[in-house]
Amino acid sequence: MSEEMKPRVQAEEVEEEEFERGGLATIAGAPISWTALFAAICAVTTLIPFYFYVTGGGYVSVASGLFMPLAGQVLGPWAGTVAAFVGGLIGMFIAPGGFPLGLVDVILSGAIFGLSAGLMTKKWRWLFLIWWIINLAMVFLFPYRLPGEAGGFGAPVEPAYTLSWTYVLLAFVVWLIVGPLTTNLLGKWGSKDSPVVLRAISLFLIAYISRSAMQPMWSLPYYYIFEWPQDWAIVDNWVSIPTYVLDWAGTCALALVVFPALWRAKLRRVPGSLVAELGGDKD
């Protein structure tokens, strides 16, 4: 390279570096444009039923089932929560059937989907443990185990009630065994350099764990609001499992397509997000 060309090349490199580092407003490291894009996708897909509640009364949208968890995985827990909340807020007006309780549904069937999925990384493992503790406490304390006849609910029939939460309790055990607190096999199997089969197993388990980790917070408030007797809660926990499996499989399939596309495109990745961690980024 001639001497007169070097200053120009260096100037172009500096300009490119400044473009990479600046000029993008962010939310917790996620570009606002990406957050807005995911919010828009979540809003539009609230119009599309993913599956109907087995017990009736409404449906889980494609947004809640697929794209809100994806927002958390790509944008991280905080921007993912914002995108899911905003998408749900818009969806509340354009798809009221998916949000019959209004703002309550925006939080329970929107924001926490992005949050729980976004916490499934090594960086946020201790916060995710706290998230797990809160949700497990809800299983054993609220609402059917409150002292006396609070809220008109009697004590649950045991061990039927606790056993109906088996898939949630099992998800916690699986996370403790293969999650980032211990072996972190989820991160190793799900990395971009892993075989597709191992990555699929990892992403399925990630979807299963993150969805199950928020299940008590998602379902128990509805049981309480609609004053379901505890035997209805037991039945719902069992008969709804196939729909949850659909959630896990769908979230896994979407991630199997989107993650490699983002890795190949070499787009800016959000620090602390699942797609960045599996892509080999270091915080």
Domains identified in the chain, total number:
1
Residue 283 lies in a domain: no
Residue 2 lies in a domain: no
Question: What is the Cα–Cα distance from 219 to 214, expressed in whole angstroms?
Answer: 9
Out of 134-148, 171-185, 262-276, the most confident range is 171-185
Query: How large is the average pLDDT for residues 14-32?
Result: 59
85 vs 269, higher pLDDT: 85
Residue 31 lies in a domain: yes
Question: pLDDT (tens digit, 9 = 90+) per residue, 203-237?
Answer: 999 999 999 999 999 999 888 888 787 788 888 89
Residue 93 lies in a domain: yes
The domain of 46 spans 14-278
Query: How large is the average pLDDT for residues 181-210?
Result: 97
Question: pLDDT (tens digit, 9 = 90+) per residue, 154-165?
Answer: 677 889 999 999
Indicate the burial class of 49 (C-beta count within 10 angstroms; 0-12, 13-18, 19 or more).
Answer: middle
Query: How large is the average pLDDT for residues 178-185?
Result: 96
pLDDT of residue 222: 86
Does position 121 have pLDDT exceeding 50, yes or no? yes
148 vs 228, higher pLDDT: 228
Does position 9 have pLDDT exceeding 80, yes or no? no
Q: List 61's β-bridge partners, or say none.
A: 49
Residue 1 lies in a domain: no
For residue 125 the two structure tokens come to: 């493992």
Question: What is the Cα–Cα distance from 109 to 104, expressed in whole angstroms?
Answer: 8
Does position 126 have pLDDT exceeding 60, yes or no? yes
Does position 22 have pLDDT exceeding 60, yes or no? no
Report the range of poorest mean pLDDT among 80-94, 134-148, 253-267: 134-148
Q: Kind of pairing, strands 59-61 and 30-31?
A: unpaired
Does position 106 have pLDDT exceeding 90, yes or no? yes
Residue 103 lies in a domain: yes
178 vs 224, higher pLDDT: 178
Indicate the burial class of 145 (C-beta count within 10 angstroms; 0-12, 13-18, 19 or more).
Answer: middle
